[in-house]
Structure 1
Amino acid sequence: PELLAETTYTVEVFATNELGSSSSNATVPANDLYFPLQWYLNGENGISMPTAWRYSKGDGDKVVAVIDTGIRSHQQIDKALTRNDDGSIYGYDFVSELASAADGDGEDADPNDEGGDSSIGNSFHGTHVAGIIAAEHDFLGTAGIAPNVKLLPIRALGKEGGTISDLVKAVNWAAGVKISGVPRNRYPVSVINLSLGAKEVVACTGGYASIFDSAIAKGITVIVAAGNEGRASLSFPGNCNGVISVVATQALGDRAAYSNYGEGALLSAPGGEFNIGSTEAPDSLGGIISSWVDDSNSPSYRLSEGTSMATPVVSGIVALMYSMQPNITPARVRAILKKSVSPFAPTSNCAILGGCGAGIVNAQLALARTSALK
């Protein structure tokens, strides 16, 4: 496959409500069961999310396209998913290779995640990403960054990854481009989340570059994983001009060992790294907890690490920015995010080697600056 999900590996499946109740002393506390494990929201090297929620928890008119492995029903994200008139999940499946699609019919209007190969990080990957962005604040599990926005699930990765040609269709469809034989997307999006990348080096030129230029020209902010190869260059499509490429940091505030970095990265966000834990949340093992589906197809939760996890952290914040200022432009979003960061420690790899962008995204600063726009 040309494209893979940008997760390295996952551990610790939690059944719903397994840990018992808990509380937080955050400024605007989330009421969710596993919030104490979400160090990336409120920890020392997190994104200052509880203070940011004073500004917004999102607007239901704002839509984030999650182009990934598809989606599974999960009680914490079901309310966020776009719907058909009959109540079924609205989205699209652009996986064209039948063997990888695993649903027997290739491209169709069913964005259901058919499962996949966990060794390459794409088993229910899209559900995990979706929960980071918009898990409901409902006492059940985790707290999403933008719980009131909508999620448009688009499947471009199958059980063995995906192809760039399928990704091109998915991005174009999300952006409102008419695709031959496919009904036009009826949920205009403000944000596109791409927690995926090419393992091989792919230049973002010509037609590849134009699809992102076109989406951005329509006012859509595109947020992309830097990649998990641990190299000093960004994976495609994180290397495309105009996208926001996100480097992953761990609980100590430094670049995660697996994360790509380099010229073109705008900023970093927590993506976790196992065995580098947070003192505020030692039970997290340093990972990012979010929604999952267990072996019996029941809703559950799992800790993961990867630039795949860092990317929706930024997408959630940007969705809140659009919720507060519907006419904000992608260029203004970039400018605000670049200024709205916590600095890297002077002894960190990010400070010494560079390539991690302006700093670790700070949601409170980003929303405060967004609120001040005229």
Structure 2
Amino acid sequence: MRIGVVTSAYHPDVGGVETHCRRLCAALVAAGDRVEVLTQHAAGAEETVDGVLVRRFPLTVAARNYRFSTALWQWLRAHAGRYDVLHAHSYHALAALPAALTNATPLVFTPHYHGTGHSRLRAALHPIYRPVGRRIVARSSRIICVTHAERELLVGHFPEAADRMVVIPNGTDPARAAVPAAEGEPGRGIVCVGRLERYKRVDRVIRAMVHLPADHRLDVVGAGPARDELEQLAGRLGLDAGRVRFHGRLRDAEFAARMAGAAAAVSASAHEAFGMAVADALNAGVPTVASFIPAHRELAVMAGDGVPLWLVNPDDEAALADALRVAAGTPRAAYGRHALPTWSDVVQSTREVYATVAPPVRLIQQSGAGATDR
């Protein structure tokens, strides 16, 4: 099957949607599909990543929250017919709009829906944007939600599309074998992974570090607009680089090494459609603390009994610190001790969705020596 995946950003950009798309596309290629990623970037380029052709179209508008590429619109208007299915990602980014409005190719939509914006301005603009979002939802033949919690939120805002929504949870990758990056480093490392936006509430984790013993260290992995204020907060609280370290983006091998040496992981996020960072930590057997939000609660149920996961309210600094102390002192679990789906499971379910919307293949029988054409 020929699949065009439309997303606002792609690897090496870091974020939940970017990670989801990269893993899904690599697994689709491994299953035998032809996949092209159509995305936006500061400069146009084409490259192959994990066997996937990535077409990066130059940004017309480079504003962080409202990235927009006219070239992407033009490409989809002219070339969408080369794909059997378009799969657009993220309600919260403009890239899905040209996939919905510029062509008639069957469309699958994964909204990664949070129901609101992540700043006061974006939250205020969210209801105004909803008619545009409704156009994308209406155009989509199938809508893939990554949790039942996300589906319920989406149905609340777009009830007319309920019968086109399916739930396919994100998968987990096998934990990479790696020499722990923390080998020889003092103390117990707690890893916090994610884009540094305010809604991720990394500030709550930093504040909780004040209540932990001096041998506990926080490793913040990720980039984003909140980094400067988070670094300033750590400084004001007297947490030097030995207690709170900002690593920025890490290469895959470096990240695997950091996770291999972690005593615990944490996500204090206020909004998640799924919770990739939590799932990856549990998959690696890392004791994990997560915010008590619907997506994380559902993830805990999916993971099953016995996984080292503590759900807390990050606004309670003492409770968060207590949970981190317990998690960091808990032995790592055996790899794979959970019931979370793999990306092979995700691809199988996603391809079944594609098959329901893609046009049937027509076989034309030729007489004589001619071979059958597709």
TM-score by length of 2: 0.30
Structure with more relative contact order (C-alpha pairs < 8 Å, separation 6 or more) = 1
Specify the structure having the higher radius of gyration (Cα): 2
Greater helix proportion: 2
TM-score by length of 1: 0.30
